[in-house]
Structure 1
Amino acid sequence: GRGLSQWSPAPDEEYQLSFYARLADAFCTHLGLERLHWVGTSMGGAIGMVCASGLLQPRMKERIASLVINDTAPEIAQSAIDRIRSYAGSPPAFDSVSELEAYFRTVYKPYGWLSDAQWRRLTETSTRRLPDGRVTPHYDPAMVRQFVAHPDDYLVWPHFDAIDVPVLCLRGVDSDLVRPETLVAMRGRGPGARGALQVIEVPGCGHAPALNVPAHLEPIEAFIRAAAR
C-alpha cells in the first residue's frame, strides 16, 4: 500500500509476511529471476528471512544466494513496534510539502545523515494530497493492522534457523528495534551457528540506516561480492 500500488481491500488478511512472501515469489517468477541477492530494510529484511527459509515459498529459497537484513532480526522489540504504530497508524496532514518534510526529518531522524536533496527526494516520493488540499505521508495507514491481526508475525526464529545462505545483519547502534541480546542469540542459531552470519553495527543511526553513504554501502557490496564467488 505504498506509492502508486493498490491498498489492500482486506488488510487483516494481506498485510502479513506470508502474503508478502507470496508476492515476492510471484514478482521473481514474472521477471524470470532465478538467482538473486536480497537486501531488505526493516520489513523488507523480515520478508527476506521468510523467503530465504523456504518454509512457505520453497522456490524463493532456491533463488536467494545471500541475504542482507538492515536493522531487523528474527525477534524485534515490542517498544519499537509501539513507537511505529504511534505515528504510522495515524499519519498527520499538513498545509504544505515543506511542513511534511520537516515532519519526515523528525520521525526519520534515526535513518542517520541525509543530504537536503535526499530529504527533498524522500518527501517528494512519499507525499499524498488529500481531498481538502493538505498533504500527508503516502502509504496505507491500515498497514499497522499487521501488528494487531498478526501480533507474532515478526517472531520468525524458525525461518532464521532454516536459512543456509550467507547473512549480513546491519544494526543501527542506536536502534530500538534490534536489541543487543537478540544479536547474541542470532550468533548461536541458524546461519550464526554455521558461521554464515556477519553482524555490523552502524554508528550514528537508529532504525534504520538509510544505506545512502559509502560507510553503509561498501560493506554490503563486499558481502555480496564474496557471496557471489
Structure 2
Amino acid sequence: MTEPQLHFVNGLDASGLHRMAYWEWGERSNPRVVVCVHGLTRQGRDFDTLARSLSADYRVVCPDVVGRGRSDWLADPAGYQVAAYVADMVALLARLGVAQVDWVGTSMGGLIGLCVASLRDRQGESMVRRLVINDVGPALSAAAVQRIGGYVGVPRRFATFDEGADYLWSISQGFGPHTREQWLALTRAQLVAANDGQGDGFVSHYDPRIALPFKSVTPELAAAGEAVLWQRYDSLSGPTLLIRGGDSDLLSHATAQAMTERGPRARLVELPGIGHAPTLVAPDQVALVREFLAAS
C-alpha cells in the first residue's frame, strides 16, 4: 500500500463526542498491529516513511491526536491533556479489534504509549506488547519545555507553503539532518491553507489552544506529573526500546540511563548529531524500529 486509508473513531470529552482521525496502512485483517503516535504539535502523517516500510508485515495505525491534523478540535481546551489522549487511544484500540499492539511514540506520543502500556486488564495483561519510546521520559528538562512553549500555539500565517516549511525547519533543528525532499514530505500534512476569513496563506494544522494546558503547568504540577509517570514506567515489564537524540535537550542522558535500570529496563540507543526528536525517517532509524518490533 503506497497511501494510507483515513478513518475516524469517536472519543468522549466534557462537551460530548469528538472524532479522532487515524491513518491506516497495510492489510486490515493482519493481527500484527503497530500504533504510531506523534509529538505535541505534529500529526500522524509524520510516520509515512516508517509506516510504508512496516506495512508489508504489519497493520500500521497512525492517529492524529485530537486537536491536530484531521481530528476535531475540542470545545474546551482544558481537555488537551495526556490522560484524555490515553482515553482516546483506548477507544481506538477497541476499534482495531486486537488484544495487543506494538507502540511507537515520539515525544508526547511516547508518554501516551507509556500510560497505555501501564494499563492492565483483569488478567493482568497490557494492551502493548512491545514499546518504542522516542526521545521522552518521565522527567523532562524544564528549559526544553520552556523552549517548546515559546512557539506552541503562537499564531503564524505564511504567504507560501515554502515559507511555512522554512519556518518549521527553523524551529525543528533538533530533528537532525534532512534533505529538502524529506523535510517537505514531513511538512505537507503539517501546513494547511488558511480558512479563517482573514486572507490567503498557510497555517499550522493544529488547534493553537493546545498550548493553554501546556503553558499552565506549574513547577508543582510538573513534579507531581513526573512522580506519576515514573510510577507508571516502573510498572511496565514488556520489551521497551528507548531512542534518544544524542543532543536532546528534553530527555537527558541521566534520565535515559535511569530508564535502563528500572521498570522494564529499556534498551537505550542514542543517535549522535540529533536533538529532540528523531523523526524515524532516516534508513538507520527505520531499521532500528523494524528490528526491535520483529524480535520475538
Q: Same fold (TM over 0.5)?
A: yes
| From 200, 207, 221, the counterpart of 2:276 | 207
8 A Cα contact 1:51 1:61, kept in partner: no
* Partner in structure 1 of residue 109 of structure 2: 44
Return structure 1 stretches of 4+ with deviation > 3 angstroms: 57-61, 148-151
* Partner in structure 2 of residue 65 of structure 1: 129
* Partner in structure 1 of residue 213 of structure 2: 146
8 A Cα contact 2:156 2:203, kept in partner: yes
- 1:126 aligned to 2:190? yes
* Partner in structure 2 of residue 19 of structure 1: 84
Alpha-carbon offset, residue 66 of structure 1: 0.9
Relative to structure 1, the CA distance from residue 154 to residue 48 in structure 2 (aligned partners, 3 Å threshold; closer, same or farther) is farther
* Partner in structure 2 of residue 165 of structure 1: 238
Relative to structure 1, the CA distance from residue 45 to residue 120 in structure 2 (aligned partners, 3 Å threshold; closer, same or farther) is same
Relative to structure 1, the CA distance from residue 91 to residue 176 in structure 2 (aligned partners, 3 Å threshold; closer, same or farther) is farther
Q: Secondary structure at the residue paired with 1:88?
A: coil
Amino acid at match of 1:7: W
Q: Larger deviation: 212-221 or 41-50?
A: 212-221
Deviations 1:95-152 (A, max 9, x none): 1111101111211121112222222222221113333112121111111223245543
Alpha-carbon offset, residue 58 of structure 1: 7.5
Deviations 1:159-215 (A, max 9, x none): 1011110110000011000011112322332112xxxx1000011211100101121
- 1:6 aligned to 2:84? no
- For normalisation by structure 2, the TM-score amounts to 0.70
Counterparts of 1:59 and 1:147, CA distance in 2: 35
8 A Cα contact 1:52 1:60, kept in partner: no
8 A Cα contact 1:45 1:72, kept in partner: yes
* Partner in structure 1 of residue 50 of structure 2: none
- 1:218 aligned to 2:287? yes
- For normalisation by structure 1, the TM-score amounts to 0.89
Amino acid at match of 2:140: I
Amino acid at match of 1:89: G
Normalized per residue, the structure richer in helix is 1
Q: Percent identity?
A: 34
Counterparts of 1:59 and 1:127, CA distance in 2: 44
Counterparts of 1:206 and 1:109, CA distance in 2: 8
Structure 2 unaligned regions, length at least 5: 1-66
Relative to structure 1, the CA distance from residue 218 to residue 102 in structure 2 (aligned partners, 3 Å threshold; closer, same or farther) is same
* Partner in structure 2 of residue 176 of structure 1: 249
8 A Cα contact 1:161 1:189, kept in partner: yes
Amino acid at match of 2:72: Q
* Partner in structure 1 of residue 60 of structure 2: none
Counterparts of 1:143 and 1:67, CA distance in 2: 26
Q: Secondary structure at the residue paired with 2:242?
A: strand
Structure 1 unaligned regions, length at least 5: none
Number of paired residues? 221
* Partner in structure 1 of residue 146 of structure 2: 82
* Partner in structure 2 of residue 136 of structure 1: 203
Amino acid at match of 1:177: L
Greater relative CO (CA pairs within 8 A, separation 6+): 1
Alpha-carbon offset, residue 221 of structure 1: 1.4
Alpha-carbon offset, residue 37 of structure 1: 0.7
Counterparts of 1:20 and 1:60, CA distance in 2: 22
Normalized per residue, the structure richer in strand is 2
8 A Cα contact 1:25 1:59, kept in partner: no
